[in-house]
Amino acid sequence: MHIPSQKVILPLFAVLTLVTLTYGNHFHNGFHFDDFHTVTTNPYIRDLRNIPLIFSDADTFSTLPANRGWRPLVTTSLAIDYAMARGLKPRYFQTSDFLWFLVQLCLMYALFRHILDFARPGPVPAASSIGNRWIALFATALYGVHPAIAETVNYIIQRGDLYSTLGVVAGLLIYIRWPARRGQGLYLIPVLLGLLSKPPALVFPAILFTYLMLFEDMRPVRALAKCTPALLLSIGLGALSSAMTPKSYDPGAWPAYDYRITQPLVALRYFRNFFLPLQLSADTDHVAESSVFHGYAWLGVLFAIALLAIAIYCGRRREAPNADLRPIAFGIYWYILALLPTSIFPLAEIENDHRMYFPFVGLTLSLVYAAALLCRPFLGLIRARIVIAVMCGLILCVAARGTWRRNIVWRDEESLWFDVTLKSPKNGRGLMNYGLTQMEKGAYVRALDYFTRALQYSPDYYVLEINLGIANGALNNDAEAERHFARSLDLAPQDAQALYFYSQWLRERGRYSEAIQDLNADIQYNPAYLDARYLLMWIYHDLGDTASLQQTARQLLAEFPTDSVAQSWLAGQTPPAQ
């Protein structure tokens, strides 16, 4: 087996050190947004004995039925992190993600190097070309410190993007690096793990097909035959994932036509973010276009056509070693293919910045290689080399600075959602979530102002109605509070949060029988949403109904034996106030 020389190890170590220093301020960043229903309130990650159940039941992914998808490897990794941390300590989860991120960067360097070596084999004089090693290293470093990538690295539940991307990179690298062992199918193992993490890994066969066509000069039929094992694996896992996904899953998507015709424009915005990542937002306020000729949708279509034309042209330029443009073509095809899963299947958000993580692997290779070719004529001059080296250093420093600042934005809920209100001022959910951070501080009037502003952009958002009810209740506007709670239940009659927070308000008003009835319904609809059971036990405690309290605690322990709240009640100890 080939062992990398010090000429590779030391510079790669320097890249990893740069990336680690850039992310040095992110390890204590907290849980955010979807982390709450998949991590912090998810009882299934609190006991490693649930791992077999995690692989057999997609309900273990989230406490909210509409958000339950089958991503068993992600949930299993969360359970392992929870066990190692002995609780919900964000730095353990962040460190786990970051270590796998560094592994991906190492594999990306090796993959980039192999791709470039296919295009420009053999030694190339320094006076006429930039060495493949340095192109691969710079591309890896740029990806590692790019601010857009921070949107995934900081977001714990989006480790699914990290794992699926890692699986594709590792699978392709193994396929390229050890051609004699392709028949053994070892390259499919990381792909399988990626598929168990998130659906975008389904495009691996298409990426492999593109590689074979470009770099191994196979005819389409032969290339397709070589991709058959990967294709069968993707089809099988895709079908299994679809079968495992509960019927309650609801992506809350836009109309399919509107969503899809807007995706070329989204691809253009992502492309722009590679160069100017100044408007990164955890929750954008962009909406779907209703026609190709509405807004700037037409511009996205032109961009997609132009990008595909460039890829086709570059794929045909193979005059090695000085003008081989295949790496540019491969990177563009990677970018397009990696965007396909979130472009074809309508989702709740038209775009999401963490979706750039996978496509930017290919885009980085393509753009850095193109820039290297543009710089090649000037490398005969010493001063030009110095200028190019300084420019590369400045680019990395600027990108690293941007990532450092994004890490600060992701520090806590208040900083994150305040940034969203600035970058995406028409996002009702963003305004609401920032209002939530104010409500948690007791600033109910300020919170109510943000909730009211959010209502004009999200008039039928049941979570917003819940929070309007909570804020009005805290301000003793009881009639208004109950109206909003009723509205939330009309919009989502079986939602765990709607029933729970209304019951909490009923408890505060002494309307115990109504609260007990709603909480029992909540437990029936959403057995994994343990806050409802905790509140029910507190109500029985308020009423002095010890028998019902203990019965509820025993029922909870029968399903989740390690639950500390139920154990405290049965031991005669009062847990922290609900």
Helix or strand run (H / E) with residue 420: helix 413-423
Report if residue 131 sits inside a domain: yes
Hunting for tokens 């505060």 — which residue is that?
508
- For residues 316 and 214, give the distance between their C-alpha atoms in angstroms, rounded to a whole number: 8
- For residues 405 and 417, give the distance between their C-alpha atoms in angstroms, rounded to a whole number: 15
Q: Are 453 and 468 in contact (CB under 8 A)?
A: no
- 385 and 458 in a single domain? The answer is no
- 63 and 120 in a single domain? The answer is yes
Mean pLDDT of 279-299: 92
pLDDT at site 348? 87
Report if residue 575 sits inside a domain: no
pLDDT at site 65? 85
pLDDT at site 294? 84
Exposure on the CB side of residue 450, measured as CA atoms within 13 A: 25
- 437 and 397 in a single domain? The answer is no
Contacts of 145 (CB under 8 A, 6+ apart): 18, 19, 22, 396, 399, 400, 403
Report if residue 414 sits inside a domain: no
Total domains, the chain: 2
Give the pLDDT band of residue 123 (cuts 50, 70, 90): very low
Residues 89-99 have pLDDT tens digits of 999 999 999 99
Report if residue 415 sits inside a domain: no
Nearest-5° Cα angle at 211, 206 to 213 = 95
- 430 and 400 in a single domain? The answer is no
Range(s) of the domain holding residue 506: 426-570
Last residue of a domain, one of 366, 381, 409: 409
Average pLDDT in the chain = 93
Show the tokens assigned to 204: 């691996």
- 78 and 22 in a single domain? The answer is yes
Alpha-helical segments (H) within 120-202:
132-145, 147-153, 159-177, 188-195
- 384 and 489 in a single domain? The answer is no
- 405 and 432 in a single domain? The answer is no
Report if residue 1 sits inside a domain: no
Last residue of a domain, one of 356, 384, 409: 409
Total Cβ atoms within 10 A of residue 387: 13
Hunting for tokens 């996205």 — which residue is that?
300
Report if residue 578 sits inside a domain: no
pLDDT at site 119? 82
Environment class of 541 (CB within 10 Å of its CB; exposed 0-12, middle 13-18, buried 19+): middle
Give the pLDDT band of residue 384 (cuts 50, 70, 90): confident
Give the pLDDT band of residue 2 (cuts 50, 70, 90): low
Residue in 301, 296, 283, 287 with CA at minimum distance from that of residue 258: 287
